[in-house]
Each structure stands twice: as C-alpha cells, then as structure tokens.
Amino acid sequence: MRLEDLGLREGINETIAVTFFEDGRPNTAPVGVVVKDGKAKVRLYPSHTRNNVEREGRIWINVVWDPIVFALSTFEDLGEEWFESIKPPILRNALAWCEFECVAVGDGNPAEFELRLRDGSVVRREVRAVNRGFNALLEALICATRIETDAGMRSRIRELSRIVEKCGDSRTKEAFEIVLRRIR
Ligand SMILES: Cc1cc2nc3c(=O)[nH]c(=O)nc-3n(C[C@H](O)[C@H](O)[C@H](O)COP(=O)(O)O)c2cc1C
C-alpha cells in the first residue's frame, strides 16, 4: 500500500484528521499531510488533535472533498452521525482513509510527527474537476483559524468570498456561510 494509492501525493494534502479522546469520542480537524520523498508527516499546533496524537501515537486521515465537513470540523468536532464507521473512523463521504502511527520528530512548535502507514483503503472513487470555489473556501477556513492573531485575515476572507460566489457550488456557499457566522 502506497500513500499515492490512498490519494496522498507530493506536497500538502488537505485532509480531515480523526483522533480519539481518552473517553473514546472522535475528534475531527482539517490537517495538512505533507508528503515528500515518499514519506508523510504532519505539523501540529496546540490543539485537541495534537494532544490526542501525543497521548495515543495514532492518527486516522480521511481524504474527503465535502466543504461542509471541512468547515464544521475547523470549528467543532463532527458527531458520530457523520461517520460510516468508527473503528476505523471513516467519514460518510470519504474517498479514502488511512491509519498512521505517529512518531515525534524534534521538539519544536509546531510539533512535527512522522507518519508511518499502518492500514487504509479507498472507499469510493469519484471523478472531479478542480473548483476554485472549493479552494477559496479552504483558504478562508485557514484565514479564520488565524483571525485572532492576524488583522489582515478579515479582508482576505472578504476577497475570497467573491471567488466562492462565482465558482463554488451550493454546498461550498453554505460552508462559506459557516465561516462568516464564526468570524462575526
Ligand atoms: C485546510 C486546513 C488545514 C489545516 N492544517 C493544519 C495543520 O496541518 N496543522 C495544524 O496544527 N492545524 C491545521 N489547521 C487548523 C486546525 O484544523 C484547527 O486549529 C482546528 O480547530 C483544530 O481542532 P482540534 O482542536 O479539534 O484538533 C488547518 C485548518 C484548515 C482549515
């Protein structure tokens, strides 16, 4: 099994990471899986995801294109109704999932973890053209996570809203509304 077969290619792959709290509840968050020279890693700022990875040494990555899943999981955790399976954790509309063992590398911030592939499969195959509205939504979500520390993020989100309006589908526009509500 190769990273590429599971949809993870060279560069930064925007995915939904699932980890588990001590009480067994799943935690979801968008995370960029960095692939270089056939190896995968993540860089994690302080978050529930990072706490869980540090405690359990495991992360499950879902490859998914749903804009609402990205928007909701940026701000909160998706409930179990969003999953088609909990063990392993697979989101309802995921294209692929993988389980990784996480090995801490160094002690900087963000904390870096090498990811060692343990399991995974392709759940469904979908042909899809690039959509600038979806890409703009992802940018806006990243801006929203930085809004407390960077004053320029609000105007950037306003610029991105024009691209979402012009290029996005209705679900992407709905996801963008979630961003706007959260930053108000
Ligand atoms: C597209 C996207 C990619 C992200 N990638 C990362 C990442 O690679 N590392 C990270 O620490 N946070 C990343 N974030 C921010 C986290 O998803 C965000 O801080 C989230 O609220 C953490 O949730 P948690 O506390 O439930 O783990 C990303 C956010 C978005 C929207």
Per-residue confidence of the chain (184 residues) as pLDDT tens digits?
Answer: 899 999 999 999 999 999 999 999 999 999 999 999 999 999 999 999 999 999 999 999 999 999 999 999 999 999 999 999 999 999 999 999 999 999 999 889 999 999 999 999 999 999 999 999 999 999 999 999 999 899 899 999 999 999 999 999 999 999 999 999 999 8
**Nearest residue to 163 (alpha-carbon basis) of 176, 182, 145, 150:** 176
What atom of ligand 1 comes closest to residue 70's alpha carbon?
31
Confidence (pLDDT) at 61 = 98
pLDDT tens per residue, range 118-147: 999 999 999 999 999 999 999 999 999 999
CA–CA separation, 123 vs 92, rounded Å?
10
Do 82 and 73 touch, CB atoms closer than 8 A? no
How close is the Cα of 26 to the center of ligand 1, in Å? 15
For residue 77, the CA-to-ligand 1 centroid distance in Å is 12
Residue type, 126: E
CB contact set of 85 (below 8 Å; sequence gap of 6+): none
User: CB neighbours of 83 closer than 8 A, spacing ≥ 6?
Assistant: 26, 89, 90, 91, 92
- Which of 145, 146, 182 gets mutated to test ligand 1 (max ligand atoms within 8 A of its CB)? 145
Ligand 1, closest atom to CA 44?
11
